[in-house]
Structure 1
């Protein structure tokens, strides 16, 4: 399997955290956004930042070292002033939610692959990483792609899972699902689990990652940083 791009989801409001997660600082002073960009650059694919137009900055020196482009993208439908949000939950009134960011990244990745390769681009995958995680992009890609290669039937979505939760924002999304996801969003739907469950392959967490993700409050982030070190 091939990787077409990486999207870093950094557009959440982070009310419980008290600050945008992308701007949280690790013990060494590096922001969480720069951390994810730094660990995604060795993959040598386009790195997209979906921050709901917050304009979070990537360190210039870090960006300069990357051989692949690093850029911000707008959520799907963000420019559509006529979008009907009446069917969505209140928490999505001002944003299209995670799936709208993934849809935009899928569209962008398809354009990039078609411009640079004559191969069947729709079988490639997009790596999705949320900003409430300290799992390194390179390690996540290796873990998920290895599990997919061992499977007899590759699924369109491949996500981390533990005994009680599925982590849809730490996963691989095949470019071929773009039209299906676009139709889902156009119908007014936003729920991530409803969309991915029928097409998802679950991959067990690496035990070392137990405390590195899903932090929503300052004390959770402190524990994650301790686990990382």
Structure 2
């Protein structure tokens, strides 16, 4: 599928309270965690937008990164606010989305999610559901969700999964993910909220032989 018709969105700018440091800027194998995510998504898109919360400067300071930063229009309202800001800045109908704290995601994940939009083109979003667990911050979103998304933010309805159910999201099961070439989905979707989880991901990258394809 043509990368020119796709925008990549990376959700950064969270509080990182359990980590004790900005997760996106932690160093992993010589690069910022945000860089790992942007490298994985870049081959599948023509443009990358990073939703930074309220502070663009610390992300722009990375300097050589090929992405654009946007601030929340509705600050302090969590990942839905970041998604709203980035989708508002996007010029494409479909958008690949990832949280910044999933550095094990591979390009094949994003390529596979693009294929699923051909089958579920009338869905407003497609996100993985693995063993009953929904991963709302790694998937594809259509810009037509913006009106409903803004209403959620205005009225402080900030529960992401409830919103997905309301907009008619398709939850892709493991068999569907494997069918479109997404292997080791549970591992790829590992995120890091604590120092222990971060060290576990570092170990996997350095010792287990699992590395993100770029």
- For residue 22 of structure 1, report the CA deviation from its aligned partner: 0.4
Hey, what does 2:95 align to over in structure 1?
A: 126
Tell me, which stretches of 5 or more residues in structure 2 are unaligned? 175-181
Q: Conserved in 2, the CA contact under 8 Å of 1:211 and 1:223? A: no
| 3-state SS, counterpart of residue 54 of structure 2 | coil
For the residues of structure 2 that align with 1:204 and 1:127, how far apart are their CA atoms? 18
For the residues of structure 2 that align with 1:218 and 1:209, how far apart are their CA atoms? 22
Q: 1:137 to 1:173 in 2, by over 3 A?
A: farther
| 3-state SS, counterpart of residue 56 of structure 1 | helix
Could you say which structure has the larger radius of gyration?
Answer: 1
1:149 paired with 2:118, answer: yes
Match of 1:73 among 64, 70, 73: 70
- For residue 137 of structure 1, report the CA deviation from its aligned partner: 6.0
Question: Where in structure 1 do 4 or more consecutive aligned residues deviate above 4 Å?
Answer: none
For the residues of structure 2 that align with 1:226 and 1:155, how far apart are their CA atoms? 37
For the residues of structure 1 that align with 2:122 and 2:104, how far apart are their CA atoms? 23
RMSD: 2.2
1:211 paired with 2:211, answer: no
- For residue 62 of structure 1, report the CA deviation from its aligned partner: 4.1
| 3-state SS, counterpart of residue 87 of structure 2 | helix
Match of 1:221 among 154, 176, 198: 198
Tell me, which stretches of 5 or more residues in structure 1 are unaligned? 64-69, 79-94, 114-123
User: Per-residue CA shift, 1:187-211, capped at 9, x if unaligned?
Assistant: 2211111111231111235452323
